[in-house]
């Protein structure tokens, strides 16, 4: 594929010319290196790990086609990532026609965008890699890539360097091979991923691999970390598939009943698998997957499921007496309260929206999912009346709470209207009325709030001090939440409403909401409580990238007469490596109150010199699970999570 770049050129009279000579053509894999963000999302850690997903997805496609039973992912000490499977092996015979005639099929797949076995023919009936740019993009963004193929009793090897250039033609390796399969080992290019480096995060990889194992019943997914100081081995394999997935997501919650409802159906070139279980909590978690790809924005399969779910539960509630004749029907949100469900579909020609594949657009899948859910879920409820009656009872309670929450919302609105300007008294608002340039700093305590007011740019920066720790919304319904003074202040200041069913991100008064808390344990707890609130009640703010965490420095020291601030232990270590003869002490800054307003401005609030962490949600199901583990009632799950992930902690404060 070639990409054209329009490049103005000066003429003799100084005006810009626009002719054939001004068109720049990027050949082969050059477009990927020129605009990597278009292909892997970013050049940060997200893009780095996207390389792993692209290679792994190829192996998963082999598993979905029925030819692969094991995938092994290895992080090597030299910084490379190896993905190995026991599938059929990428074809190695010469390409038959066109400009690539004579090259091995392996070389074509690795060096040509939109080349693969997923655009027609009989190579794959279903595939997650239908955009076809996957492994060639990985090659383009690697300084070195080694492909090894076992196929038809032979071993083959080809190496690529400097962003996808073949080092030599494909080579047959001496010795026979008793199995088929493919191994791709790649070294991400540090020049491409310069912003956050090329070190893979084990937990990020493991979360994705576990999901893959859940979605592909019986598939063995093995992970090994061979890096110094991080050695680890983990294998995932689930005989129950998505039933085990639902149990995993609900493990830190109290289930409404022990059974997991499950059904599957197939027709023509499409298949659905659905598993669901309710818990006693207040939030729904419906996760859609299409050909193994997480459709975080839902799509037709999720729409069809929701429509049928509402219809089936209302029908059962009427017939069982859970709803009386005079009662209104239950709303979908009432029925889905506390629901954890996996809606996994496979189809031959999925219509994804863009390379990120966030939403499924196949209309046929909506009608198919709706039809099968209407039939099979109704059968399940009739066969399991105890569980079905608990579902109805919980939904009725949710409907009553919804009405109470509506009244509480109206009370908050009336209180806001009667208070004159409508904003919380302690909010020091900014002068700008443009959300795109307006920032709201949520500051821990009135003292730090006063310092932040002095440090801010009053034109674009607003300050809202909060007192103590806000309500843990993971354990409270909305009507209780709205009685909390600090929560009320947040809702009123931000605008846009509250509750994911009502909140409108376009009405938010700030496009940056920045949590500014101390760099200690209490500050971490406050950040977690606030993030839980935004995730559960204003989730579009998180999904839009509007939530940030300020990074006040943890240490200060002096170099000559100049005071130097260091963000964390990592920054301190880097400073000492660069300044090995530094003798001055490091002062540990336990609170924002230890800095005067000039220091707070220059280190934490001024746009030109500060560092902000943007909060986002990449894997919705895992994010939901972690939120419940960390903020729910299950102490043992929280303990296990901390023990398992302790090795990834960079800065721990007691």
- Given 347, 379, 401, which residue is the final one in a domain? 401
Which of 444, 474, 479, 622 is flagged as catalytic? 444
* Predicted local confidence at residue 357, as pLDDT: 60
The region, left, alpha or beta by phi > 0 then psi within -120 to 50, assigned to residue 181 is: left
Same domain, 207 and 251: no
Judged by DSSP in three states, 220 sits in strand
Catalytic residue of the set 522, 568, 569, 618: 522
Number of domains within the chain: 2
Please report, rounded to a whole number, the percentage of residues in the chain having pLDDT higher than 90.
47
Domain boundary among 401, 436, 456: 401
Domain residues for 370? Answer: 242-401
Span 571-590, average pLDDT = 86
Confidence of residue 113 (pLDDT cuts 50, 70, 90): confident
Quick check: is 559 in a domain?
Answer: no
Taking the C-alpha atoms of residue 563 and residue 583, their distance in angstroms, rounded to an integer, is: 14
Of 219, 236, 253, the one marking the end of a domain is 236
Question: Is residue 372 annotated as a catalytic residue, yes or no?
Answer: no
In a domain, 650, yes or no: no
Does some domain include residue 202?
Answer: yes
The pLDDT value recorded for residue 636 is 55
**607: helix, coil or strand?**
coil
Q: What average pLDDT score do residues 432-461 get?
A: 92
| Whether residues 61 and 210 fall in one domain | yes
pTM of the predicted model over 0.85:
no
22 catalytic residue (yes or no): no
**Residue 367 confidence class, pLDDT cut points 50, 70, 90:** very high
Residue 262 domain-assigned? yes
Whether residue 266 is predicted with pLDDT greater than 60 in this model: the reply is: yes
Q: Which of 82, 518, 622, 624 is catalytic?
A: 518
Q: For the segment 459-506, what is each residue's pLDDT rounded down to a tens digit? A: 999 999 988 667 777 777 777 788 888 888 999 999 988 886 788 999
Least trusted range by pLDDT, from 164-173, 346-355, 607-616: 346-355
Whole-angstrom Cα distance, residue 471 to residue 229?
39
Residue 221: exposure state from Cβ atoms within 10 A (0-12, 13-18, ≥19): buried
At 317, which CATH number? 3.30.230.10
DSSP for 447-482, please give it: HHHHHHHHHS-TTTEEEEEE-SPPP-GGGS-HHHHT
Instruction: Decide if 499 is inside a domain.
Output: no
Same domain? 214 vs 307: no
Q: Is 522 a catalytic residue?
A: yes
Q: Is the domain of 93 the same as that of 167?
A: yes
pLDDT digits (tens, 9 = 90+) for 84-98: 999 999 999 888 877
pLDDT value of position 564:
87
392 and 252, same structural domain?
yes
What tens digit of pLDDT does each residue of 393-436 get?
999 999 998 888 887 777 766 655 444 446 778 899 999 999 99
Across all residues in the chain, what is the average pLDDT? 84
Residue 309 is assigned to a structural domain of this protein: yes
Regarding whether 136 and 43 lie in a shared domain, the answer is yes
Angle between helices 485-494 and 385-418 (to 10 degrees): 70
Residue pLDDT, tens place only, 59-74: 999 998 899 999 999 9
Let me know whether 140 and 160 are in one domain: yes
Q: Based on the domain organization, do 92 and 177 belong to the same domain? A: yes
What CATH number is associated with residue 147? 3.30.565.10
Q: For residues 118 and 129, what is the distance between their CA atoms, to the nearest angstrom?
A: 7
**Rounded Cα gap, residues 591 and 588, in angstroms:** 9
C-beta separation of 393 from 332 below 8 A: no
Annotation marks residue 269 as catalytic: no
324 in the same domain as 198: no
What is the distance between the alpha carbons of residues 326 and 137, in angstroms, rounded to a whole number?
60
**Which pLDDT value is given to residue 623?**
56
Do 232 and 246 belong to one domain?
A: no
Span 378-404, mean pLDDT? Answer: 94
Could you count the other beta carbons within 10 Å of the beta carbon of residue 597? Answer: 15
Q: What is the mean pLDDT of residues 551-561?
A: 87
**What separation in angstroms does the CA of 5 have from each of 20, 25, 31, 43, 351?**
11, 7, 10, 21, 28
């Amino acid at each position: 594929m070639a990409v054209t770049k329009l490049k103005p050129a000066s003429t003799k009279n100084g005006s810009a010319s626009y002719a054939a000579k001004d068109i720049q053509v990027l050949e082969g894999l050059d477009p990927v290196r020129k605009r990597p963000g278009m292909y892997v999302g970013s050049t940060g850690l997200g893009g780095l790990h996207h390389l792993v997903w692209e290679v792994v997805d190829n192996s998963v496609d082999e598993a979905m086609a029925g030819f692969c039973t094991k995938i092994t992912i290895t992080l090597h000490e030299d910084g490379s990532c190896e993905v190995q499977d026991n599938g059929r092996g990428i074809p190695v015979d010469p390409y038959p026609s066109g400009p690539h005639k004579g090259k091995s099929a392996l070389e074509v797949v690795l060096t040509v965008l939109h080349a693969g076995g997923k655009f027609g023919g009989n190579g794959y009936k279903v595939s997650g890699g239908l955009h076809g740019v996957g492994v060639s993009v990985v090659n383009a963004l690697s300084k070195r890539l080694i492909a090894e193929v076992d196929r038809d009793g032979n071993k083959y090897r080809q190496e690529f360097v400097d962003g996808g250039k073949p080092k030599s033609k494909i080579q047959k390796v001496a010795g026979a091979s008793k199995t088929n399969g493919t191994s791709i080992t790649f070294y991400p290019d540090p020049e491409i991923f310069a912003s956050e480096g090329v070190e893979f995060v084990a937990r990020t990889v493991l979360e994705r691999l576990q999901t893959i194992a859940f979605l592909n019943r019986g598939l063995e997914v093995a992970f090994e970390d061979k890096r110094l100081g991080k050695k680890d081995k983990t294998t995932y394999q689930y005989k129950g598939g998505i039933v085990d997935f639902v149990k995993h997501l609900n493990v830190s919650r109290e289930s409404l009943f022990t059974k997991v409802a499950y059904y599957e159906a197939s027709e023509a070139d499409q298949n659905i698998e659905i598993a669901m279980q309710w818990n006693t909590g207040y939030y729904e978690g419906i996760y859609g997957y299409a050909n193994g790809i997480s459709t975080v924005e839902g799509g037709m399969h999720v729409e069809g499921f929701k429509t049928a779910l509402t219809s089936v539960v209302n029908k059962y509630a009427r017939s069982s007496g859970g709803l009386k004749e005079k009662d209104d029907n239950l709303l979908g949100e009432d029925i889905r309260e506390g629901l954890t469900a996996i809606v996994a579909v496979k189809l031959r020609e999925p219509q994804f929206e863009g390379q990120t594949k966030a939403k499924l657009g196949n209309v046929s899948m909506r009608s198919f999912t709706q039809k099968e859910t209407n039939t099979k879920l109704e059968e399940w409820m009739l066969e399991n009346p105890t569980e079905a009656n608990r579902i109805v009872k919980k939904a009725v309670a949710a409907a009553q709470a919804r009405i109470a929450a509506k009244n509480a919302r109206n009370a908050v609105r009336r209180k806001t209207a009667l208070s004159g300007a409508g904003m919380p008294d302690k909010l020091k608002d900014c002068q700008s009325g443009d959300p795109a340039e307006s920032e709201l700093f949520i500051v821990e305590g009135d003292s730090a709030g006063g310092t932040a007011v002095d440090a801010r740019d009053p034109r674009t920066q607003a300050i809202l001090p909060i007192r103590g720790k806000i309500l843990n919304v993971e354990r409270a319904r909305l009507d209780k939440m709205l009685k909390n003074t600090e929560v009320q202040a947040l809702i009123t200041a931000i605008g846009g409403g509250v509750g994911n069913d009502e909140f409108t991100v376009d009405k938010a008064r700030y496009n940056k909401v920045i949590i500014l808390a101390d760099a200690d344990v209490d500050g971490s707890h406050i950040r977690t409580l606030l993030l839980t609130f935004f995730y559960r009640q204003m989730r579009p703010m998180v999904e839009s990238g509007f939530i940030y965490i300020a990074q006040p420095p943890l240490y200060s020291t002096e170099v000559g007469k100049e005071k130097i601030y260091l963000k964390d232990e990592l920054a301190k270590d880097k400073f000492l490596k660069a300044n090995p003869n530094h003798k001055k002490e490091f002062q540990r800054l336990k609170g924002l109150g230890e800095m005067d307003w000039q220091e707070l401005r220059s280190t934490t609030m001024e746009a030109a010199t500060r560092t902000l962490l943007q909060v986002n949600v990449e894997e919705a199901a895992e994010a939901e699970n972690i939120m419940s583990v960390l903020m729910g009632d299950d102490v043992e799950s929280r303990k296990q999570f901390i023990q398992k992930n302790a090795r990834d902690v960079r800065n721990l404060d007691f």
